Structure 1
Amino acid sequence: MTAHKGETATIIFFLIYCLGLCLPVAAQSGGQARKHLIYFRDKANSPFSVDNPQQYLSDRAISRRHKQQINITARDLPVNPLYTAGLKSKGAEVLYASRWFNAAVVYCDSSVYTELVKLPFVKNGQTLSRRNTSTVTIRNGSASPKPAPANNRRLKTDRQTYGAAYNQANMLGVLQMHEAGFRGEGMHVAVFDGGFSGVHRVPAFAHLFEESRVKATFDFVDKNEDVFEKDTHGTNVLSTLAAYQPGTYVGNAYKANYYLFITEDSRGEHNIEEVNWLLAAEFADSAGVDVINSSLGYTTFDAPSRSYSYNDLNGSLAIVTRAADYAAATGMLVVNSAGNEGNKPWRYISAPADADSALSVGAVDSLGRRAAFSSVGPTADGRIKPNLVAQGLLAAVVTPGGQVVRANGTSFSGPILCGLAVGFWQANPTLTNMQVIKYLERTASQASIPDFLIGYGIPNFSQAHKLAQEEENKSVIFPNPVQNNQLQIRMSKEFINQRINVTIYNTVAQKVVKEIIATTPVSRNVVVDISSLSPGIYNCVINGNDGPKIFKFLKI
């Protein structure tokens, strides 16, 4: 793991307890050695506590939860180190541990695996790979990139400045976003991919290193810190976000901070790659990342890994889908490409694009017409996917050699739109991750008639920002109708730093819920538990210093 100065001790903790960086234990002989996921029964007698999250979360991670009123729960706790020690004592090599799944990735043969699943603290296990995929890494060298033009001056927002990236940025209103001063400053973005070959040498990325904005790197496949190798795909993806070479190419969030993680193993397709995604997301959470970009998708795997059918893409089954939803539950915005199966027999989105809380992105051409290859919805349980679209047909990307070329895929429409989301959230920092998605959807090109081909359509910064700013000055209930047991209220500025009385009445004016909730300058989002309410129409009355506000909502 490459961690640059300014990182907290949390990264060191994560390396020790979550990545399992310890002296390896040789796998015992007794059959072919493979990687397995071992699920633990509980987190009983843990040395960690939800009351002391500084043990395992950075200040940024805690702040992100606080701003969005997300409680730290037992799922955030690291696995019990006694349990991982117990696995090692049986001869397994513990490679990683997962907080959210309460599990460990181990490497051992079948005889050891049989013993592991019998342990009293083990719930069950799953084989993740056909063989050990560890290899000797071939490095690309460490030549320093040539300096790119300084970017501390005002950027001209014209076709010449953006070069080949002009249309894909202009389609989303990114030029206006940059003109308004939102280029990703202060935002932290993690990119999951198969490799970032040449990024450390390409002039268009030089500013990231000169300004120390590559915050951490790690290869979860081969368990080392070198990510500037292997696949070129991640380089192309990163360029749409972070490249900066005025006159040639400008990415959509070129001033953000970046975490570069290899989770994809191009040597085969196995469930271990889903777990790599999970582990990278957990690290991103611990480090305080705001946004995850993933241009990855999974449906079919090599034996003995379990493949998915379309019916499995219901938002709750695939390993990587559950990981994406857990990541979103911590307050991170998860942006994932929809997939490139639209003109193939599969046709539909892949995991984790089916995740309920992920912003799934399809592809259009330069004129806004759906690209034939762009995967379609709905999810198996009937939800609209993709959520939104951006240019993915003949999108401009930067290669490891520094050239600008055209490429096709939702792999590129995803990060192109992700850059918009980063700047939009920067411009509206009091929003939750889910509100970011909803504002982009509500102001997209076909917001009133979403479909299963391009979802809500093409979003636009200016329109989304205008709506968000208008609603800054009024209190709103979202979403409405309410589909779960949490009523969320975004309080207007007049309710900052107040104790708010929230009272809910049924249709015959009976008081059914009453709560007193405090707001802060950084968190004006109020969450009210309505699990006691039956489906139906209710009136919500909010009382603060300036009198009552009355809202009507529907619980379904």
Structure 2
Amino acid sequence: LYELKNSPDIQYIEPNYEVKTEIEAEKTESVTETVPYGIQNIQAIEAQQEGYTGKGIKIAVLDSGYSQHSDVKVKSGYSFITNSENYDDDFGHGTHVAGIIAASINGEGVVGVAPKAEIYAIKVLDKGGRGSYFTLIEGIDWAIKHKMDIINISFGGENPSQILEEKLQEAYDEGILIIAAAGNDGYMGDDTILYPARYSTAIAVGAIDSSNKRAFFSAKGPDLDLVAPGVKVLSTLPSNQYGMKSGTSMAAPHVTGVAALILDKNKKLCPSEVADILESTAKPLGEVSEYGHGIVQAKEAVDQTAWN
């Protein structure tokens, strides 16, 4: 370690901190197509009716992978857990997140926020929903190299990291919008937002319920930017199933979907411009430390977006 620290080729050394996601899950069955309450509460259907579906917008879902599902089309992906192209979801989290963003309008199952967005499943969490800053950084790097438009990160860690912060900045500078779950430790204090959501280059998303009330678990703090539905959210699960999960993990992809609708209208916008539209058109719900700028509003956001 002494030799490494004193090597001119090494800038700094950090521990490889753990990241994880904690969720509640409840399996169910859905036969006829359902519009989940979250999709309604953020005005996604109204935005879709105006012709905005996220078409052509590339979204890297950094998560537990994706399992084949008739309701969600995934372009491709990669696993940094096994370092292979087998990104099968053996935890169920990534498939659920993907469905919130882009479940198809096909007469079955559920409807996503941006049903024609291009989803790339980047597996950085294992079968227990755990990963590390190293796998997260590898996933961000993949997104940069493959020229993604948005990165969705529905998990986090408790420790700051210079390496992670620099990689996020690199993605941001390349024009990639980063949206991250604020975390589920809101009952543990007044400033509980996890990394990478805490960094200024990421949009930190908290969770609210169907009545637009803050979820008791949703992280609080001055770095919170927005909130979205994250309590008993119905979406896709492996083995062609459906189910409800709760967490800021479910809130973040609602915002990711709305961002895809904005970029569908104007692909030339930079991350800060998309963030400004999301925040200025959000509906305020209460204290900034608990609700940020409020709940995202898709129709308002696309209506306030200038044309290409």
Q: Shorter chain as normaliser: what TM range?
A: 0.7 to 0.9
What runs of 5+ residues in structure 1 fail to find an aligned partner?
1-112, 131-159, 300-307, 379-384, 473-521, 523-556
Aligned residues: 295
Scaled by the length of structure 1, what TM-score is found?
Answer: 0.49
Contact 2:64 2:123 in 1 (8 A): yes
Residue number among 462, 471, 493 corresponding to 2:299 in the alignment:
462
Q: Distance in 2 between matches of 1:319 and 1:358?
A: 15
State how far apart, in whole Å, the 2-side matches of 1:284 and 1:418 are. Answer: 15
Q: 1:403 to 1:173 in 2, by over 3 A?
A: same
Q: Does 1:178 align with 2:67?
A: no
- The answer (yes or no) to whether the contact 1:318–1:351 under 8 Å persists in 2 is no
| Helix, strand or coil at the partner of 1:359 | strand
Q: Confirm whether residue 188 of structure 1 aligns to residue 58 of structure 2.
A: yes
Q: What amino acid maps onto 1:233 in structure 2? A: H
Match of 1:372 in 2: 216
Does structure 2 conserve the Cα–Cα contact (< 8 Å) formed by 1:443 and 1:460?
yes
* Alignment partners' CA distance in 2, 1:428 and 1:451: 28
Q: Find the aligned partners of 2:255 and 2:215 in 1 and give their Cα distance.
A: 15
Deviations 1:336-379 (A, max 9, x none): 1111111235861100011112111111111211111110112x
> Is the Cα–Cα contact under 8 Å of residues 180 and 203 in structure 2 kept in the other structure?
yes
Cα contact 2:189–2:220 (8 A) shared by 1: no
Tell me what 2:262 maps to: 424
In structure 2, the residue matched to 1:292 is 151
Equivalent position of 2:22 in the other structure: none
Structure 1 position 162, deviation (Å): 5.1
Work out whether residues 446 and 457 of structure 1, in 8 Å CA contact, stay in contact via their aligned partners in 2.
Answer: yes
State the partner residue of 1:554: none
Unmatched runs of 5 consecutive residues or more in structure 2: 19-30
Task: Provide, for residues 457-513 of structure 1, a one-character-per-residue CA deviation record: whole Å limited to 9, x for no partner.
Answer: 0121222233333xx6xxxxxxxxxxxxxxxxxxxxxxxxxxxxxxxxxxxxxxxxx
Amino acid at match of 2:203: L
Evaluate the alpha carbon distance shift between residue 450 and residue 327 of structure 1 in structure 2; reply closer, same or farther with a 3 A threshold: farther
Are the structure 2 counterparts of residues 184 and 118 from structure 1 closer, same or farther at C-alpha, using a change threshold of 3 Å? same
Q: Is the 8 A contact 2:78 2:86 kept in 1?
A: yes
Partner residue, 1:79: none
Taking a change above 3 Å as real, the CA distance of residues 161 and 347 of structure 1, as seen in their structure-2 partners, is farther
Note if 1:163 corresponds to 2:34.
yes
User: What is the aligned counterpart of 2:118 among 239, 246, 257?
Assistant: 257
Deviation at 1:228? 1.0
- Please give the alpha-carbon distance, in whole angstroms, between the structure 1 residues aligned to 2:134 and 2:8: 23
Contact 2:282–2:295 under 8 Å retained in 1 = yes
CA contact (8 A) 1:186 1:257 kept: yes
Distance verdict in 2 for CA 1:222–1:177, change over 3 Å = same
The one-letter code of the counterpart of 1:401 is S
1:233 match = 93
Whole-angstrom distance in 1 between the partners of 2:129 and 2:227? 29
Aligned to 1:350: 194
CA RMSD of aligned residues (A): 2.6
Q: What SS does structure 1 have at the residue aligned with 2:171? A: helix
Per-residue CA deviations over 1:211-245 (Å, capped at 9, x if unaligned) read xx51x321112211111142211111111112224
Counterpart CA distance in 2 for 1:410 and 1:331 is 24
Name 1:326's counterpart in structure 2: 170
Amino acid corresponding to residue 128 of structure 1 in structure 2 = N
Contact preservation (8 Å) 2:169, 2:201: yes
CA distance in 2 between partners of 1:247 and 1:229 (Å): 21
Q: Evaluate the alpha carbon distance shift between residue 162 and residue 428 of structure 1 in structure 2; reply closer, same or farther with a 3 A threshold.
A: farther
- Counterpart secondary structure, 1:203: coil
Compute the TM-score of the two structures, normalised by the length of structure 2: 0.86
Secondary structure, aligned partner of 2:187: coil
Which residue of 358, 361, 367 maps to 2:205? 361
Look up the equivalent residue of 2:118 and give its one-letter code: N
Equivalent residue, structure 2, for 1:389:
227
Change (3 A) 1:184 1:129: closer
Residue identity matched to 2:301: A
For residues 303 and 96 of structure 2, the distance between their equivalents in structure 1, rounded to whole angstroms, comes to 31
Q: State which of 192, 198, 204 in structure 1 corresponds to 2:71.
A: 204
AA partner of residue 325 (structure 1): Q
Residue 410 to residue 268, structure 1, CA distance change in 2 (3 Å): closer
**Structure 1 pair 122/232, CA: closer, same or farther in 2 (3 Å)?**
same
* Cα separation, 2, equivalents of 1:458 and 1:174: 12
Seen in structure 2, the aligned counterparts of structure 1 residues 162 and 229 have a Cα distance that, compared at 3 Å, is closer
Q: 1:342 to 1:386 in 2, by over 3 A?
A: same
Structure 1 distance, partners of 2:290, 2:190, is 14
Shift of 1:431: 1.9
Q: Choose between structure 1 and 2 for higher RCO, CA contacts under 8 A separated by at least 6 residues.
A: 2
Tell me if structure 1 keeps the 8 A contact 2:182–2:248: yes
1:105 paired residue number: none
**Alignment map for 1:124-139 (pairs within 5 Å):** 124-128=12-16
Counterparts of 1:463 and 1:261 in 2: how far apart (Å)?
A: 31
